[in-house]
Amino acid sequence: MSTISRDEVARVAALARIDLRPDEVDRLAGELDVIVESIARVSEIATADVPATSHPLPLTNVFREDVPLPALPVQDVLAAAPQQDEGRFLVPQILGEE
């Protein structure tokens, strides 16, 4: 038995200001009915002894110890830069300022 009628689909489409052709209303009524039936089936299976989950595997964050380390030497960092000038990265001018 259909739980979502053609009229309900047309009414919701009108509220959402979605212009649907008659064939689209018929198709969506059938598709939405299948969705509602699937949700009802899942609801029948879900019982109080089955815990709710958002992911099939347990998720835990693994963090490393936050240990301060000495900074890299400036010359080592600048050696990896495409261009440098007076101990700084040299980048293209973008604002037209001097």
Which domains, ranges and CATH numbers included, belong to the chain? 6-45 (1.10.20)
Global pTM?
Answer: 0.46
- Asked whether the beta carbons of 9 and 29 are under 8 A apart, the reply is yes
Beta bridge partners of 84: 89
Q: One digit per residue, pLDDT tens: the chain, 98 residues?
A: 568 899 999 999 999 999 999 999 999 999 999 999 998 888 787 677 777 777 778 778 878 889 999 999 999 999 989 999 998 999 888 887 66
- Following CA atoms 14, 16, 21, 23 in sequence, which dihedral angle do they give, to the nearest 10 degrees? -100
Which tokens go with 28? 């969506």
